[in-house]
Structure 1
């Protein structure tokens, strides 16, 4: 789950889709955040029935099949060659890198601890966006973004006892590759529908994901359980395809920096799901962190670039 050496030079690109009110973009990006917040709990469920490599490869193949059906049914033409480098970054970041690294981390980490990734992701995405495209968010924007990220990191680190493990290395690697994929995906969503961005990225990864799935299914044991199947189906259809469809479209409408800050709420949503679905226990710090994060989101949404 960012490959950036071949990225297209940042040049102004005309938006080919009709303009939409910012509220629509915010809603779409928020729906993506809700879908993503279920990813870690669903992955934990999936690991009950599948090995980590099997889960990652099969979810990508299933999501690619869904995308292929949509692309063929609507007779979508092949993407322009100039868009292939950007799609490769999306595929490397959000189709392969992020799912693989977070799944490996969740073998030994709780979902609450893994939420540190999405706590840092908004700030990392905004930073890469600024470096990649030369955008200059305001000082108020950066101050609120840093404050929100710090609040989320402090909460999740406190939950894990502050110790760095191998899982942390996986999570920080996932953070970087996912931020690169989000940045390129948000750019491409300005020139093609968001669902086509992730759809073509999934299809381009099939020559890699299909062989890996075949090998993984041979070497890793499979235990068909209700939780395992439900987790696999959600990370394939919800997290890997539908969530990214609305997320990329939302970024195209309201901009990458602002959309990325909505993800400050994602760790807290993940913690809620971890309690409801996995039976994990939270401390009284959770509502305090939630209040701080909501304030930061409000500031970033009002701050002008």
Structure 2
């Protein structure tokens, strides 16, 4: 269990910079190119890994499940966050991503047959409430739902599905091979869209945008999933998935460092409370 939690935490740390990096990249690069180009680049790395390790091909059933993973985390989340962050800030995106742990837990029940106990839901709901209250109190949330908000909500729903399906499949294939094969199965979609996006809007950007794109390709779309899916498989999808409660706070910190947004002492206090909720969640026994 400890290994699963550690791997999950490493994955969350990697993903916590995804929204700020996306925000930086889409200011100069076409959002469709950012969304699908990173998947093509990560697929090239995946092919090297699979070839180098002599990975056996998935079964027909596993291919179908990998298509679900690809829909969620290779296509859905990158596309809709890229579209949303052309207008919304990374901090605003962190608000919607707050519901991702709950969405992952729901899909874990539906897709992986896990049954978290009441304490799990209480602690998870408390952490969610704390983070949302903090974001509302600090003025991150304002007004009604915009198109950007809807994009972010779609991203979260699809990501939760991809996390749950991938975590369950990682028990059979391993975390690394699960994301690698998902990247490969998505190539018939990601390659033509990347080429079309590059042709329609030739990618021209400065070093910061390309560095952000590189992070999204190598870390967010590839190496981060090595740790994340392995953690979900070992520690339980619903349980390890709740570590994501700390992700919005980490995202705000990265937003401050990369985008110049302020981080107040209140955010540090909230981070401590959220981490306490995460600890309580880990004490709740999950049967799956």
Q: TM-score, normalised by structure 1?
A: 0.90
C-alpha contact (below 8 Å) 1:113/1:157 kept by paired residues: no
- Report how far residue 292 of structure 1 moved: 2.0
Map Cα deviations across residues 87-106 of structure 1 (whole Å, 9 max, x no partner): 01100000000000011111
1:33 aligns with 2:12: yes
The equivalent residue for 2:147 is 166
The equivalent residue for 1:245 is 226
Taking the aligned partners of 2:206 and 2:247, their CA distance within structure 1 comes to 27
Equivalent of 1:156, from 123, 131, 135?
135
Q: For structure 1, which segment, 217-226 or 267-276, has the greater mean C-alpha deviation from structure 2 after superposition? A: 217-226
C-alpha contact (below 8 Å) 2:69/2:161 kept by paired residues: yes
The equivalent residue for 1:47 is 26
C-alpha contact (below 8 Å) 1:48/1:225 kept by paired residues: no
Q: Secondary structure at the match of 2:114?
A: coil
Q: Which runs of 5+ in 1 are unaligned?
A: 1-21
Taking the aligned partners of 2:225 and 2:96, their CA distance within structure 1 comes to 17
- Report how far residue 221 of structure 1 moved: 4.2
- Report how far residue 283 of structure 1 moved: 4.4
Q: For structure 1, which segment, 278-287 or 96-105, has the greater mean C-alpha deviation from structure 2 after superposition? A: 278-287
- Report how far residue 284 of structure 1 moved: 4.6
Residues paired across the two proteins, number: 284
Taking the aligned partners of 1:30 and 1:282, their CA distance within structure 2 comes to 22
The equivalent residue for 1:76 is 55
Q: TM-score, normalised by structure 2?
A: 0.95
Q: Which runs of 5+ in 2 are unaligned?
A: none
C-alpha contact (below 8 Å) 2:15/2:224 kept by paired residues: yes
- Report how far residue 79 of structure 1 moved: 0.7
The equivalent residue for 1:136 is 115
Cα separation, partners in 2 of 1:151 and 1:196, compared to 1, 3 Å: same
- Report how far residue 74 of structure 1 moved: 1.7
Taking the aligned partners of 1:284 and 1:165, their CA distance within structure 2 comes to 29
1:287 aligns with 2:268: yes
Runs of 4+ in 1 over 6 A off after TM superposition: none
Taking the aligned partners of 1:153 and 1:216, their CA distance within structure 2 comes to 35
1:99 aligns with 2:63: no
The equivalent residue for 2:206 is 225
Equivalent of 2:102, from 123, 127, 132?
123
C-alpha contact (below 8 Å) 1:118/1:264 kept by paired residues: no
